[in-house]
């Protein structure tokens, strides 16, 4: 992968870290890669689809691990090829049965290293979309500038809970207690589909989401 190819995927360049984005598959899944600019190591969030595009990016950015926000089919299509390439794949315990194979389980509060003691991803169990849904808070030098929310929180509300294992009260509780209550209004929300938002842009609408019931 050329330098210009990498530049095309660059979504955020903070100086301490970089976030790259590929949109893949028929449902336009966001695949995020966060990389420490100090250590050079990276983690990919959701090996959704199009492994032929993901693997060159993983090699170029030194991806050491893949973490899955949940086990729905559109978020895991590239997992077999990723594992065949020797990259560890981790998923929340309650969603592990949705994968044919994986390497490790993610528990609430787990810290995923990027080879940089001042830059880590912290797992936040956010059930509701699925029982094992996990968001990942990027902790950088004592602050949390970004949370990768998978299909738990989007611009305009929570992810769907009509699928098997979905639970609307649970997703509302996850969003209110485990996202809005923990992270500041300027914290960026990078979801599993669609555009980014912030905690501050979404939090005032929580009561509207509860009232509409989806």
Contacts (Cβ under 8 Å, ≥6 apart) of 57: 1, 6, 9, 20, 22, 33, 63
Query: What is the set of domains in the chain, with CATH numbers?
Result: 3-212 (3.60.15.10)
**pLDDT tens digit sequence for 60-101:** 999 999 999 999 999 999 999 999 999 999 999 999 999 999
**pLDDT tens digit sequence for 179-192:** 999 999 999 999 99
Contacts (Cβ under 8 Å, ≥6 apart) of 132: 70, 71, 91, 92, 93, 94, 95, 96, 125
Q: What is the mean pLDDT of residues 193-204?
A: 98
pLDDT at position 213 is: 86
Please say if the pLDDT value at position 197 is more than 90: yes
17-38 CB burial, b ≥16 within 10 A, e <16: bbbbebbbbeeebbbbbbbbee
How far, in Å, CA of 73 to CA of 93, rounded? Answer: 16
Q: For residue 21, list its beta bridge partners.
A: 32
pLDDT at position 98 is: 97
Q: What is the mean pLDDT of residues 132-140?
A: 98
């Amino acid at each position: 992968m050329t330098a210009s190819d990498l530049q095309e995927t660059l979504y955020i360049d903070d100086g301490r870290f970089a976030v790259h984005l590929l949109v893949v598959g028929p449902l336009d899944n966001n695949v995020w890669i966060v990389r420490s600019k100090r250590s050079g190591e990276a983690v990919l969030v959701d090996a959704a689809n199009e492994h032929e595009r993901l693997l060159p990016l993983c090699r170029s950015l030194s991806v050491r691990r893949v973490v899955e926000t949940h086990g729905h089919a559109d978020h895991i299509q590239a997992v077999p090829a990723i594992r065949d390439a020797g990259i560890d794949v981790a998923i929340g315990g309650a969603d592990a049965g949705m994968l044919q194979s994986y390497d490790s389980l993610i528990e609430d509060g787990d810290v995923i290293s990027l080879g940089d003691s001042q830059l880590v991803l912290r797992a936040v169990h956010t059930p509701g979309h699925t029982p094992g849904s996990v968001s990942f808070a990027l902790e950088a030098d004592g602050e949390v500038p970004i949370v990768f929310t998978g299909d738990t929180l989007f611009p305009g509300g929570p992810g769907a809970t009509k699928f098997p294992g979905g639970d609307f009260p649970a997703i509302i509780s996850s969003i209110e207690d485990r996202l809005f209550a923990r992270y500041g209004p300027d914290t960026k929300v990078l979801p599993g589909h669609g555009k980014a938002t912030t905690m501050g842009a979404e939090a005032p609408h929580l009561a509207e989401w509860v009232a509409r019931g989806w």
